[in-house]
Amino acid sequence: MGVTILRLLLLSFIVLFPSLSFAHGFGGSGEENVKRSDFPDGFLFGTGTSSYQVEGAYLEDGKGLSNWDVFAHIPGNIVNNDNGDVADDHYHRFLEDIDLIHSLGTNAHRLSISWSRILPRGRFGEVNPSGIKFYNKIIDNLLSKGIEPFVTLHHQDLPQELQDRYQSWLSSQMQEDFVYFAEICFKNFGDRVKYWATINEPNLSADFSYLKGLYPPGHCSAPFGNCSEGNSDVEPLIVMHNMLLAHAKAVRLYRELFQPTQGGSIGIVTYSSIYEPLRDDEADRQAVSRALAFNIAWVLDPLIHGDYPQEMCHYLGSSLPSFSLEEVEYVKGSIDFIGINHYETLYIKDCIYSACPSGYDHPIRGFIYTTGERDGVPIGERTAIPSFFIVPRGMEKIVDYIKERYNNSPMFVTENAFCESSYP
């Protein structure tokens, strides 16, 4: 991505729904003129970036190799063999970028911290003071312009050494590494950061990294992909389990040692698609419920209710890891807010009673098939990404679903955008 693309990324929104239900439907036939004054006091509008996608400077000032650095440098892994070595050059141009954010009139900015910039070798090496200094400068400059920093600890990039030593999230050792990293961030930035997200989209990471093999470390198995290693039916479940336990342990640490004096809040961000039945029958309506359970509730049910959703337990059986009684005590209730990344609304077809393409008839997928079209008609206006359609009603539906399932918990829409068909 060039610097020009950064200007587009900064148009994403962060909004807060404190026990809020939509007063007006979205996607109606009439076009409404929405003004900022229509929203209540305390409603946050913001922008968002993530470290690997914007920073560049991939080996400058003591930063270590990340999993994405290594993965992107393997020919064929990324379209056009692109990489994030320079990206938007945010590492050198962050002051200019913060000026751009400020010019939009927003009052919040979401960023992630590069784990390998803070701890080049994880807990097996020293803290990198240049990395601490870099994020201190970003946080201070945001605050000086009246912009609230929302900080994500882990947005997919991690020190490559942790992958080399014990295969990162496939190992329970990763839980302690994450807590070690989180504590350093809380100590150095928590006096000014009041909104923390532990992990960004663990459900998407498990899917793309360990089921489809499209993200590092590129694990998958047939029929989901053609990778040199991996087990798509099992590894995503192990990875998610370790991520949830790592999250919960970091939250316990924050609440015990930092939250009482720093006064912040902490949550997790989930990739939150919404679904509609492809056909007007009970099988597809049940498939919609399974799809939501196997994606959103996979992340949030344990953190709020203390266990995986019943739909997953029923269809996955002993393949699904379990929480010990001790783990349930600190996993349950381990979020102050829910972060929602919403990009897509899709049709769902049942694959228990209907024939589906290979892979969709596996338990790991919940026996569901997703599509953006019904009888050749797209579910919404097409975008440059084939699976993304503009479906405004989807935002209302996802907020209502999470509100109802999770007892009206506070939520932030931490990402929402669409990709245009052409670029500058």
Cα separations in angstroms, 367 against 54, 180, 278: 37, 38, 14
> What's the pLDDT at 5?
31
Query: Is-catalytic flag, 201?
Result: yes
- Vertex 372 angle, CA 78 and 270, to 5°: 65
The kind and range of the H/E element at 390 are strand 389-390
Query: What pLDDT is recorded for position 420?
Result: 76
User: Which regions of the chain are under pLDDT 50?
Assistant: 1-30, 423-424
Q: Cα torsion for 226, 169, 55, 265, to the nearest 10°?
A: 140
Question: For the stretch 367-383, what's the b/e string if a residue is b when 16 or more beta carbons lie within 10 angstroms of its beta carbon?
Answer: bbbbebeeeeeebbeeb
Report the distance separating Cα 228 and Cα 251, nearest Å: 35
Cβ-Cβ contacts under 8 Å for 74 (sequence gap 6 or more): none
- Cis ω before 321 (30° cut-off from 0): no
| Beta strands 337-341 and 265-271, pairing class | parallel
pLDDT of residue 27: 37
Is residue 347 within 8 A of residue 419, CB to CB? The reply is no
Model pLDDT, residue 339? 98
What pLDDT sits at residue 21?
29
The pLDDT value given to residue 115: 98
* Residue from 148, 276, 311, 415 carrying the catalytic annotation: 415
Reply yes or no on whether 256 is catalytic: no
**Helix-helix angle 173-189:129-144, to 10 degrees:** 50
How far apart CA 188 and CA 186 sit, in angstroms, is: 6
pLDDT computed for residue 422 by the predictor: 54
- The model carries a pTM of 0.93
Q: Which residues pair with 339 in a beta bridge?
A: 269, 412
pLDDT of residue 201: 98
Query: Which of the following is catalytic: 55, 148, 161, 201?
Result: 201
